[in-house]
Structure 1
Amino acid sequence: MQVFADLHIHSCFSIATSRSMTPGPLIAAARKKGLRVLGSGDALHPGWRTCWEECSEREGILVVPTAEVEDVSRVHHLILMETFEDFSCLARDLAPYSKDIGHSGRPHVRLGGEEIAAMVHSHGGLIGPAHAFTPWTSLYAAFDSTRECYGDEPVDFLELGLSADSSYGSAIPDLADLPFLSNSDCHSPDTAKLGREFNRIEVSRLTAGGLLEAVRSGRITLNAGFFPEEGKYNRTACVRCFRSYEPDEAGRLNWRCPVDGGRIKMGVRDRARQLSTGKPTKRPPYLHMIPLAELVQKVLGTASPRTKGCRNLYNRFIEAVGDEISVLLYTPITELEDIHPGVAGALDCLRAGRVVLEAGGGGRYGSFSLR
């Protein structure tokens, strides 16, 4: 069975998240998006575990317990478990090393990656670096290899992050045998955020255990998500004025922008190039997508995809087709033209790769136009 899954989200218990990040809106958004599997996010938080355990109406969506944790080196790790009780046990193990595990959705733990991974594996869970190339809180911001971070503990997968696709990691020898995941890391249940990146996974049974088994075995058959240039850390750039630099130039400037004195952060593209010393390995297809809400916004020329006009038109497509992934991937353009010719034309451009990108960097998202 092939299912679409977004395995990294957050909750209303994490900082800078929507108050609507509660089970009801998340389930509704997952159905509208076309996801069959949703990571719970923040499952180390006792209140959030209770929210999901009390949520009986999941409308056919499999909720897999997941969490993100920050280690002593500020590396973020994504954790998958079979049950919320497993996360309760893991939280007890981590509690002596964390001041905020009882009240933060994404807790900080005073342990290294190897120690955290050992605890996760002792409870039958999976662990891998979250948004692995991001220049602030990631594996490759702190280390040059998975072994430097995780030691002798096995790594079960690597999450690419919004500023990377599979090609960024395919020639890094360290990652040759690791499955890649593409997830939204969303802080809002809005369908422009939830499922903006997702995976298609072959599962033998639609359970949390079946999902973990599939990830462990590398049965990811498709990754889908942003064009890497749309991510806010794709290019090496100043974090104040967002001016782009080549790494050699940034090094000569001591990583300080001569325009405003801001810090220059190495972009995901350039960091991946530094690490890519091997031959590219074969990977499942990576499908570059733009959320339907953003395509509608582009066609209507509005300032936000959340305007009433954008929402109404978006919902017309969902009501006619069933879910967003079907609109983006499968429904014939001729059928979509009956709903709105302009948006159908935009979808035709997307499917044909007629997309012009202006790369993001330094913390500012990139942008796109269609031709």
Structure 2
Amino acid sequence: MTELFYDLHVHSCLSPCGDENMTPANIAGMAALKGLELVALTDHNSCRNCPAFLAAARAQGIVGIPGMELTTSEEVHAVCLFPKLEQAMDFDLFVYEQLLKVKNRPEIFGKQQIYDENDSVCGEEPCLLIHASRLSFEGLWEQVSSFGGVMFPAHIDKNSNSLIANLGFIPPDSSFQTAEIKDMKKLRDLKCENPYLERCRIICNSDAHYLEHISERLWSLPVEERSPEAAVDALRRGLAGL
């Protein structure tokens, strides 16, 4: 067993709210400077910058994980991570079919830039990526699992776009084994109000949209080996993996 310092929720310039300096190579470079060893790229409803990010992460000696921050039909944000790029890109195609095709207005929402492995712009997504999809939170664990990935609800302590804020409770028949919070100081109260969390691995990520907001070397994940597969497996098993 080894511990990897992580940030598993980071946005690139493909997310309309992501800063234009959040290119795949810049993200990997900043993560390396901060001493991180395990980093996931999780743009809103898209994995299309993951190929470039994984190449940049390899160059920096970082274990990169492809993923996305999915917005459900209830406008709950959920992080979906995959051990292999092919799985992530298959999921990307699946999710894209579930999105309302509303044209992005870059002057209002921001650009949605796609980068190649040379860290150059090679395209721009025309459809706005921050809309809710047609996918419900109910059944999302099983859907992500069918693509080989793992899902956990994002920033459950936030007052908007979180599982608890939007649904009002954690469904007792949920299957997720990991949950993300933004502020660890809220964990005790959250567990008192939501006993389901007692069975979950709790992680803390940056949800960075700017380079300076990428996590410092603060939080570590115990994994069997230094690989995306081991990291995804640890998140899937939650506390049972300890």
Question: TM-score band, normalised by the shorter chain?
Answer: 0.7 to 0.9
Q: Quick one: which amino acid aligns to residue 166 of structure 1? A: L
Q: Does 1:175 align with 2:191?
A: no
Residue correspondence of structure 1 range 243-262 to structure 2 within 5 A = none
Q: Quick one: which amino acid aligns to residue 112 of structure 1? A: S
SS of alignment partner, residue 94 of structure 1: helix
Conservation of the 8 A alpha-carbon contact between 2:177 and 2:199: no
Which segment drifts farther, 40-49 or 90-99?
A: 40-49
SS of alignment partner, residue 53 of structure 2: helix
Of 158, 164, 187, which residue of structure 1 is paired with 2:209?
187
Q: Does 1:132 align with 2:156?
A: yes
Conservation of the 8 A alpha-carbon contact between 2:47 and 2:68: no
Greater fraction strand: 2
Conservation of the 8 A alpha-carbon contact between 2:30 and 2:214: yes
Displacement of 1:2 in angstroms is 1.2
Counterparts in 2 of 1:43 and 1:58: CA distance versus 1, 3 Å: farther
2:108 corresponds in structure 1 to none
2:113 corresponds in structure 1 to none
Q: Does 1:161 align with 2:162?
A: no
Residue correspondence of structure 1 range 1-371 to structure 2 within 5 A = 1-42=2-43, 45=46, 47-52=48-53, 54-55=55-56, 57-99=58-100, 103-104=127-128, 106=130, 108-147=132-171, 152-162=173-183, 164-171=185-192, 172-190=194-212, 193-196=213-216, 198-218=218-238
Counterparts in 2 of 1:97 and 1:45: CA distance versus 1, 3 Å: closer
Residues 319-360 of structure 1 deviation map (CA, whole Å, 9 limit, x = unaligned): xxxxxxxxxxxxxxxxxxxxxxxxxxxxxxxxxxxxxxxxxx
Counterparts in 2 of 1:64 and 1:57: CA distance versus 1, 3 Å: closer
**Quick one: higher RCO (CA 8 Å, sep 6+), 1 or 2?**
2
Conservation of the 8 A alpha-carbon contact between 2:47 and 2:67: no
Conservation of the 8 A alpha-carbon contact between 1:43 and 1:87: no
Q: Distance in 1 between matches of 2:17 and 2:30?
A: 19
Displacement of 1:220 in angstroms is 10
Q: Quick one: which amino acid aligns to residue 204 of structure 2? A: S
SS of alignment partner, residue 42 of structure 1: strand
Q: Quick one: which amino acid aligns to residue 211 of structure 2? A: P
Q: Distance in 1 between matches of 2:47 and 2:167?
A: 31
SS of alignment partner, residue 171 of structure 2: helix
Which segment drifts farther, 208-217 or 89-98?
A: 89-98
Residues 42-71 of structure 1 deviation map (CA, whole Å, 9 limit, x = unaligned): 285354134225537532111111210111
Counterparts in 2 of 1:133 and 1:88: CA distance versus 1, 3 Å: same
Aligned residues: 217
SS of alignment partner, residue 216 of structure 1: helix
SS of alignment partner, residue 205 of structure 1: coil
Displacement of 1:20 in angstroms is 1.2
Q: Calculate the aligned-residue CA RMSD, in Å.
A: 2.8
Displacement of 1:74 in angstroms is 1.1
Conservation of the 8 A alpha-carbon contact between 2:57 and 2:64: no
Decide which structure has the larger Cα Rg and report it. Answer: 1
Q: Unpaired segments of 5 or more residues in structure 1?
A: 222-283, 285-371
Q: Distance in 1 between matches of 2:7 and 2:163?
A: 21
% identity of equivalent residues: 23
1:368 corresponds in structure 2 to none
Q: Distance in 2 between matches of 1:197 and 1:55?
A: 19
Q: Unpaired segments of 5 or more residues in structure 2?
A: 103-124
SS of alignment partner, residue 59 of structure 2: coil
Displacement of 1:76 in angstroms is 0.7
SS of alignment partner, residue 114 of structure 1: coil
Q: Quick one: which amino acid aligns to residue 213 of structure 1? A: D
Counterparts in 2 of 1:14 and 1:43: CA distance versus 1, 3 Å: closer
Displacement of 1:162 in angstroms is 3.7
Displacement of 1:134 in angstroms is 1.1
Q: Distance in 2 between matches of 1:85 and 1:138?
A: 28
Conservation of the 8 A alpha-carbon contact between 2:65 and 2:82: yes
Residues 7-62 of structure 1 deviation map (CA, whole Å, 9 limit, x = unaligned): 00101011222111112211221122111111122285354134225537532111
